Structure 1
Amino acid sequence: MPDHVLVTGGAGYIGAHACKALAAAGYVPVTFDNLSTGWEAAVRYGPLVKGDLMDRASIDVALAEWKPVAVMHFAALSLVGESMRDPGLYWRVNVGGALNLIEAAIAAGVRDFVFSSTCATYGDQDGVVLDEDTPQRPINAYGASKLAIEQMLGNFRASHGLRTVIFRYFNVAGADPDGEVGEHHDPETHLIPLMLDAVTGKRGALTVFGSDYPTEDGTCVRDYVHVTDLAAAHVLGLRWLQDGRDPAVFCLGTGQGYSVREVLDHARVVTNRAVPVVEGARRAGDAAKLVCGSERAVSDLGWAPARGLGDMIRDAWHWSQAPRY
């Protein structure tokens, strides 16, 4: 009988792609999601448990029913601007929910835990490649809440033998090349889907937040990683733990930074249309440049990003033409 894996946030963008990758690898992903930002139609590869991480009892029931061999934890609030306006919400939901999940997993005897963290834990450190050894200095409550969870996992690792793989990843983009799952947020805040919606007229001109950053063209620089490549890394992380390997942290990115204007240029090539743009002020909490060093994931985990920015935009473009939810 195949192993079950509890996937919190499995109805969301990254979680749904991870569920597809888990199913393809022979696991049964059990999505645990309150559907506040996820989509029931995205749950295609295993059962859905409607539950909330703020409700410890609902987690206990799911773990008792499905008896998973591991937990993959994606569920979180993740809007930088919102976290700046309402930091208490992020500490309550992200950190409180993670604590409930970790304690429930320990009580149920589940010791393998794969955690979705973020490059936002590093803060604004320009001119350096961010890797696993870079000091973490978050500049917003979103990044701070994720760092707190990383530290919490370390505490439970020391006291209860929790086995963990932590992934810190950069800007996730693209969609399943098969078109089964894709990116759909409400509200949408990610650059590539916003850009494609502006191209098709589904929304007005794209706002470029800040054109006076200390970068080559004045716009923010980010490292983009394809969501399918990211999902594959999570399966490798699970197998890492099941093989009895030591707890580990891996950064996931391509090592290539692109400015907002460079992303717009790529989109023009893919869509053969210009992106309507207006310039706006900087957003609070936005770093100027975030670029990943993922050599450890390549050398130790055996992971490598197979898709570039053009692939990400092309797959997102195809998804946007016929979204399934």
Structure 2
Amino acid sequence: MPAPARILITGAGGFVGTYLRRALASRWPAASIIAGTADMTDPIAVTAMIEAAQPDVVVHLAGIASVPAARAAPDAAFAVNLGGSLAVARALLAVAPDSVMVHAGSAECYGDSFRAGTALDEQAPFAPLNIYAASKAAADLALGAMAAESRLRLVRFRPFNHTGPGQSDAFVIPAFAAQIRAISEDRQPPVIRVGNLDAARDFLDVRDVVGAYSLAIEHRDDLPLNPVFNLASGVPRRIGDILDAMIAASGKDIAIEIDPSRLRPVDIPTAFGNPAAARRILFWHPTIPFEDTLRAMLQAAPTPEPR
């Protein structure tokens, strides 16, 4: 299969985009990796961006990326996450119809379906429980419908929680790491403020997630029609156990205090996924030990995530 010559990434300056740019440049050093900078709420600008780039593949990462940010600006969440995704798809159909769209969705879309207590596969119904999840579910479903009714070449991913150095401390593990570093540097009293520690989630290293995106690009001409892939480890990890491991690794005597402002209005006890489709079709599986991810995060400062 020919290597991609031109890959456009929306949201290339964000947390995942930064890792993806490095991964693609390493995998295909001769390819042009193009950072898409158009305003996702401006369809004319999005179309002009794609027409100018004429990419083989568009990896659509741009979006409002956290539950609190979407809750604070629900109209913007839908405008960017749904409207921006539709703008990219329509632009591809209009000016680059042979391109493949790789869409980064979210396992948050499954929401209330996680109450079944089993590892969910791609057939599980969407039942979003927050604005972020609803906006991502709307985009996922709308793109799937467009692909069914048009020539849109689409690969949809639904990654579970993924983390790594450089992630915004709006997310749970970077928030723990930031507080532990502050305590270690005597910038904070030895108390960590936390939300719900009993919830269990399925975590991946961000490098494993971008590895899946790379595999989708590599096999883009061999994939089934408009496939959908969960990206998950299949292992739920209790948030409190993750924090305990990080505190132990720090070597500090640190107390834990519940912060009501960090609690979600609705929280699912356990959420984890079944990655069998990605394993079978993309030959993908997580390769980075979670302990290595936590160790790296304790050593690196988080950064604000671009919106």
Same fold (TM over 0.5): yes
What is the match of residue 26 of structure 2?
24
State how 1:61-100 maps to structure 2 within 5 Å.
61-100=48-87
User: 1:6: Cα distance to partner?
Assistant: 1.0
Normalising by structure 2, we get a TM-score of 0.87
**What is the root-mean-square deviation of aligned Cα atoms in Å?**
2.4
State how 1:275-294 maps to structure 2 within 5 Å.
275-281=254-260, 282-294=263-275
- Closer, same or farther in 2 for the Cα pair 1:275/1:197, shift >3 Å? farther
Q: Any idea what the Cα deviations from partners look like across 1:123-179, whole Å, max 9, x if unmatched?
A: 03231112111111111111111111111112221222112111111111123xxxx
What is the match of residue 199 of structure 1?
180
| Farther off after superposition, 192-201 or 74-83 | 74-83
- Closer, same or farther in 2 for the Cα pair 1:203/1:145, shift >3 Å? farther
Aligned counterpart for 2:15 among listed residues 6, 13, 16: 13
User: 1:272: Cα distance to partner?
Assistant: 2.6
Specify the SS of the correspondent of 2:105: strand
Specify the SS of the correspondent of 2:136: helix
- Closer, same or farther in 2 for the Cα pair 1:254/1:104, shift >3 Å? same
Specify the SS of the correspondent of 1:149: helix
The percent of aligned pairs where both chains have the same amino acid is: 26
Normalising by structure 1, we get a TM-score of 0.82
- Which whole-Å CA distance do the structure 2 matches of 1:90 and 1:194 have between them? 22
| Farther off after superposition, 189-198 or 114-123 | 189-198
User: 1:206: Cα distance to partner?
Assistant: 3.3
Specify the SS of the correspondent of 1:131: coil
- Which whole-Å CA distance do the structure 2 matches of 1:258 and 1:83 have between them? 25
Asked if 1:119 is matched to 2:107, the reply is yes
User: 1:80: Cα distance to partner?
Assistant: 1.4
Assess if the C-alpha contact under 8 Å between 1:5 and 1:70 holds in 2.
yes
- Closer, same or farther in 2 for the Cα pair 1:18/1:285, shift >3 Å? farther
Assess if the C-alpha contact under 8 Å between 2:180 and 2:298 holds in 1.
no
- Which whole-Å CA distance do the structure 2 matches of 1:85 and 1:300 have between them? 38
User: 1:225: Cα distance to partner?
Assistant: 0.2
State how 1:146-157 maps to structure 2 within 5 Å.
146-157=136-147
Assess if the C-alpha contact under 8 Å between 1:77 and 1:94 holds in 2.
yes
Q: Any idea what the Cα deviations from partners look like across 1:60-93, whole Å, max 9, x if unmatched?
A: 2322222111111111112213433543222222
Assess if the C-alpha contact under 8 Å between 2:181 and 2:298 holds in 1.
no
Asked if 1:135 is matched to 2:137, the reply is no
Assess if the C-alpha contact under 8 Å between 1:130 and 1:293 holds in 2.
yes
| Farther off after superposition, 90-99 or 226-235 | 90-99
- Which whole-Å CA distance do the structure 2 matches of 1:123 and 1:2 have between them? 35
- Which whole-Å CA distance do the structure 2 matches of 1:210 and 1:61 have between them? 44
Q: Any idea what the Cα deviations from partners look like across 1:241-268, whole Å, max 9, x if unmatched?
A: 2335422111111111111111112213
- Closer, same or farther in 2 for the Cα pair 1:134/1:274, shift >3 Å? farther
User: 1:223: Cα distance to partner?
Assistant: 0.8
State how 1:215-226 maps to structure 2 within 5 Å.
219-226=198-205
Q: Any idea what the Cα deviations from partners look like across 1:8-29, whole Å, max 9, x if unmatched?
A: 1110001111111111121332
Specify the SS of the correspondent of 1:76: coil
Aligned residues: 291
User: 1:298: Cα distance to partner?
Assistant: 1.2
Structure 1 unaligned regions, length at least 5: 33-49, 176-181, 212-218
What is the match of residue 208 of structure 1?
194
What is the match of residue 52 of structure 1?
39
- Which whole-Å CA distance do the structure 2 matches of 1:322 and 1:101 have between them? 27
